[in-house]
Structure 1
Amino acid sequence: MNDVEEVKSRIDIVDVIGGYVPLKQTGKSFKGLSPFKTEKTPSFIVSPEKNIWHDFSSGKGGDVITFVMEMEGLSFPEALEMLAKRAGVKLKPRKQNEKDSSNKAEIYDCLDAAMAYFHVVLSKNEKAKNYFVMERNLKSETIKKFRLGYSPDSWDSLRNYLNKKGFKDEVLVTAGLCAKGNNGRGAYDLFRGRVMFPVFDMQNRTIGFSARILSEEKTAKYINTPQTPVYNKSLAIYGLSQAKESIREKDQVVIVEGNMDVLALANAGFNNIVACSGTAFTELQLKQLSRLTKNIALCFDSDEAGINATLRAIEIAADEEVRLDVISLNHAKDPDELLKKGQAEWKKALKNAKYAPDFMIDFAKQKYGITTAPGKKKFTAFVLPLLKSLKDEIEFQHYLKKISQLLGVKEESINNLINQKSNETKFKNIDQPESEPSINEVKKLSRQENLEKELLELVFAFPELNSAIEDLEIEHTSNLHRPLFEFLKQNPKFNFDKALNELPNQAEYVKILSLRGEQQFANIPAHDKRLEAFTQVARIEDINKQIAKRQIARQLSVAEAEGDSKKIKQLLKQYQALLNED
C-alpha cells in the first residue's frame, strides 16, 4: 500500500469534511450546503462507502485529499502531508530528501518558537505597543490574530532564548533568524529593535518575518527574512493564513502592497485582504491565490511604482483562468490612508473596481491621449498585448470593437497589426521607452507553454511516461519546447543522462523540469501519474485547437471586410473541420 492509499484508508472522509461543512446523513450518504457556492438547497454529497465527494452546484468533486486542497488552497503534496499528520501516518520520503524533511521540521519549530517569543516581548514593551495601539490604532484582537511582536534591541536575546529551547546556532542561521559572527564567533540576532510581522504558510506554520525599525536610525526601514529552506519570497503572502476563510466565503481576494494595509483593513472588519512582498507580485503567488478564488482585485499604491506593479500583475494574470480587477484609491496614497476617510470610502472603491482590460484602456487613453496621430500610435502599441492576451473570443471581439471606436480605425486594421506583432507579448511599464525592453523583464510563458512545461516535468521526472506523448502533434508545440518534444519522440526509452548529453543548450532547463516533477508527483501512484500525463496531452491538443479557431476567426473578419467569398468559404471549411474534431 502506498502513502496515498494508506492515508485515505486511515482517514474518515465524513469526519474531515464535516469539520468544514455541516453534514446530515441521508441513507448511505451525507449531504450539506456547497462550500463553494451560495445555495439554499443542499447539493454537496459525501459517500463514505466510495470515499468520495461531489458538489453538484459547482461541478467539483474528488477524494478527501482533493477536498483539503480546495478548502485550504494547498498543493497535492501539502494536502497529503496535512492529512498524514492527522491520520498518524508517517510518509515515506525519498531517501535523498529524508534529511531535508527532518531539517525543515526543526526550522518550522524554531520559527514558531521565535514568533511566540516576539509576541510575548511585545506585551512588555511600551514603545512597541504604543506604535501598534496609539499610532496605528490596532485593536488587541488584531494584534493577537496576526501574532504581532517585537524583537529586543539586543544582539543575542533571541539567540539565547532559542539556545535554551534546544535550537543550535546552525538552525537559527538556516532559519534566517541569526547571522554568523566574524571569525566564526557564534551567531547574532538579525532582528533588533523592530516590530515583527510573522509570515505564515497555508498550514499556519511560521515561515519568516517582516520587521520594521522603530527608531530614527539611518538604517533600512523594513527588513525581511532571507531566502531559507521554508521561506520563498516569491511564494510567501502576508496575511493569507488569516484571510483564507474570508477569501473562500467572499469568493474574492484583495491584494495590497504593505503589511500595515492588511492590518488596517482587517482591523476595520475587511478580512479577505493579503499583501505581496512590496510590489513584486509573482506568478507563484497568483497560482496559490487562484486555488482559493478566481476573483482577484489589485489595490497597489497610487505612485508610479504601484502603477507599474499593477500592469505587471495584469500581465502575469493574462494566461491564468482568473478575473482581475483594479481598485482606484481616489487620490489617497495607500489603502490605509483611504480607510482613514471612513469605511464607506473603502467600500465605494471596492464597488467601483475596474475590470483589468478596462483599466488598461482607460490608463493608456489618459496617458497618451488619442486626439493626435502620435498619441494614437502609442496608445495602440500599449493595448495590443492586452488584446492578444484575451483568450475568450467574445471578450476579444468586445475590446477590439471598443478600441476601434475609440481610435476611429477599422477593426480589420487593428487585427492586421496584431498579426504583424505576433511576437509582442509584454505590457510596457509607464516609464519604459517603446524601443527598450525593461531590464527586469522576465520570460512569461503562454498558457500553451505552461501546459507543455507541466507535461515535460512529468516525463523528465518519470521517463516511463514518455509513451503519453506518442500521439502529440509536435509541429504544433511551442518553439520553446519543440526541441524537447522532438528528443522525446525520437527516444521513446531515453534515460536522463542521455537527455542532458543530447540537449546541451537545454540541459539546465531539463534538470529544473525533472526536479519540479519529482517534487510534485513523488508520492502519487503510478496509475495517477500516467493519467495526469495523458490528461496534459489532451489539454495541449485542446488549446492548439482554440488557437487555430481564433486565427481562423480573425482571418474570416478580414475576408468578410474585403468581400473575398472564396477565402470565406475556405476558412469556414477549415473551421468546421476543427469543430468536427471536438
Structure 2
Amino acid sequence: MKKLMCTEAKQIDMVEYLASLGHHPQKVRNQDYWYLSPLREETVASFKVNRRLNVWFDQGTGKGGDLIDFGTLYFNCSVSDLLQRLSQYHPGPAFSFHPHSGSGDRRQSAASFAGEKKDTPDNKIVVLDTRPLAEQSLLNYLQKRSIPLEIATRFCREVDFLLYGKQHTVIGFQNKAGGYELRNEYFKGSSSPKDITFIDNRTEQVAVFEGFFSFLSLQTINSNKQAPLSNCLVLNSLSFLEKCRPLMEQYKQVHLILDRDNAGRNRTRLALEWDASKYIDRSDFYHGHKDLNDWLVHLYHSQSIGPRMGKRL
C-alpha cells in the first residue's frame, strides 16, 4: 500500500479518527468538539478539536496542532512511522481517508454522529474472545517492541473485540477487574472496566509502571535473574497512582518506573513528596527515552543490547 504524504494525512478528519481510536466527544459546540484528553488522564473535557479547521488543542498541556502532531504524541512514534500506520489502517464506519470538507452534508452528518449517546452498543468496545497469542501480526508487533514471545505469553492474551461493527484482534493485558488494555500496531485502547494490574511476587518491594509494555520490558531485562522480581503494579492509567497509595505504602520500597513525559514526571515528583525515602525514581535507568520499552527497543536496534543487559533494574 502506498504510504501517505503529510499533506494527505492532515486531511483526515480528526473527529472521525479519534472515534476510530475509541475517543468520543463529551460535548459539541458549533465546530468545537470537546474530549477527555486522549493524551493524559482527566475528568473534565479540556481537549478541543475544531472540526472546521481540523486542528486540536489540549488545554491541560498547552499543546496543539494537526493530526500529525497528535498522532506522533499519541503513539510516541516518528512522523514516518505514523504515516505508515495511517497508510495501513483499514477504514471503518467512523473513519475514512476522504479529504476534510466543510460541505453542508458533511457537517450535518458529523453533528448527528456527535449527538449519539455514548452508551450505544456500536461505540463501546465489546470483547468477543481471548486465547493464547498466535496471530502473526501480533507476534511481529511484539518483536518490534523487543518483547520475547515467551514473556508476552505469560502475561498477555490474544483478544478479539468489536467496535463500530468491526472486529479487531489485538494483544490484551488484563486488569484485576477483568477489563483489558488493548494494543496492536494500529490500535491503542481499553475495554471496561478500567483498573490496575497487580502481580504479587511476595517481596517487600513493588515496582510501579504506567503501561504494560514497560512492565513486559522489565521482565525482559531481568529474564535471566534467578531470584523473584519485586511485586509489580501496572497502573494502566496515571489517574490510579493516588488511589493506589494505600497499597504502595504497605511496602518498604516503591520503585517508580513511569514515563519520562510531563505527566509521568509530575506523578513521580508527587510520589517523592509523599516520602522520598520510600518512593524511588528509577527513570534515570532509561534517561533520554520516553519509557523503559523505548530504551529497550533502542538498544536492540543499536545492537548494543548484550553489554547493557548486564545492568539490572
TM over 0.5: no
Structure with higher helix content: 1
Q: Which has the higher contact order (CA 8 A, sep 6+)?
A: 2
**If the length of structure 2 is used for normalisation, what is the TM-score?**
0.41
Structure with higher strand content: 2
Rg: which structure is higher?
Answer: 1
**If the length of structure 1 is used for normalisation, what is the TM-score?**
0.25
